[in-house]
Amino acid sequence: MNTHHDWTQLKCLGGRLCLDFINTVDRAVEQTGTREESSFSSEWLTDAIALINWAQQVQLLSPAQTKTLKKQAQQQPELAQDLFVQAIAFRESLYHLFSAVSVGQAPPLDALAVLNRWLTAACSQSQLVWCEAKFVRRLIDTNQLEFILWRVAQSAEELLLDPMLTRVRECAGTDCGWIFLDTSRNRSRRWCDMEDCGNRAKAKRHYERNKQ
């Protein structure tokens, strides 16, 4: 299992947990006929251990939870690999769902079905509790590998039902595909990160102008 990522280098720019999960890979989007196909140019989630490390990096897991889940993954490698494959499929479903939403299109039905399956599983593992003068729904068992994806599913549901959904954007960078919440005052943000994709776009425009 790959444990050599420097997780401090992964920027969390999505604004919501589910969007940061989507943004664990850079997508190089290519036009193929009338379809857009994406290929991965930079992948952070390479195995179940990497998924657990990501969850700790975004403060979804405590150090104790991280240790417990890593031990599970090491003791049950086949189950861990199966969950990892499901995680990648779930991530891509969320990408297609929120990418469609970002341009005002209806989400693909198969992507929505995948999210609903994870929400059903999360709901079956949660209960209402009284916390700080209000009811909240909390997951019961936080020491299962599935906990990470249950929380991602809950985050996606919360955003899809939030008025802020209209501010979901996809980065205009050609080799990015990151999804983020545009919280700018005039709703004009185009890039996930101006220092990265924004500057590359500026450099590309400058090069093309000088070439003419």
CA 199 – CA 147 distance, rounded (Å): 37
pLDDT of 35 above 70: no
What integer is the mean pLDDT of 73-88?
97
What integer is the mean pLDDT of 55-68?
95
What pLDDT was estimated at residue 185? Answer: 83
What integer is the mean pLDDT of 27-42?
51
CA 12 – CA 211 distance, rounded (Å): 35
Domain at 11-211, CATH from 3.40.920.10, 1.10.3300.10, 1.10.3190.10, 3.40.1260.10: 1.10.3300.10
What integer is the mean pLDDT of 92-116?
96
What pLDDT was estimated at residue 36? Answer: 47
What is the number of other CB atoms lying within 10 angstroms of the CB of residue 68?
17
- Mean pLDDT is highest, among 35-49, 120-134, 195-209, for 120-134
* 129 beta partners: 136
Residue with tokens 């919280």: 183
What pLDDT was estimated at residue 196? Answer: 66
Q: How confident is the model at residue 204 (pLDDT cuts 50, 70, 90)?
A: very low
Q: Where are the domains positioned within the chain?
A: 11-211
Residue with tokens 């140019």: 41
What integer is the mean pLDDT of 15-26?
95
Q: How confident is the model at residue 29 (pLDDT cuts 50, 70, 90)?
A: low
- Which of 33-37, 82-86, 106-110 shows the lowest mean pLDDT across its residues? 33-37
What integer is the mean pLDDT of 121-146?
90
pLDDT of 206 above 90: no
What integer is the mean pLDDT of 39-47?
78
What pLDDT was estimated at residue 2? Answer: 43
Q: How confident is the model at residue 138 (pLDDT cuts 50, 70, 90)?
A: confident
Residue with tokens 């985050």: 155
pLDDT of 169 above 50: yes
SS (H, E, C) the chain: CCCCCCHHHCCCCCCCHHHHHHCCEEEEEEEECCEEEEEEEEECCCCHHHHHHHHHHCCCCCHHHHHHHHHHHHHCHHHHHHHHHHHHHHHHHHHHHHHHHHCCCCCCHHHHHHHHHHHHHHHHCEEEEEECCEEEEEECCCCCCHHHHHHHHHHHHHHHCCHHHHHEEECCCCCCCCEEECCCCCCCCCCCCHHHHHHHHHHHHHHHHHHC
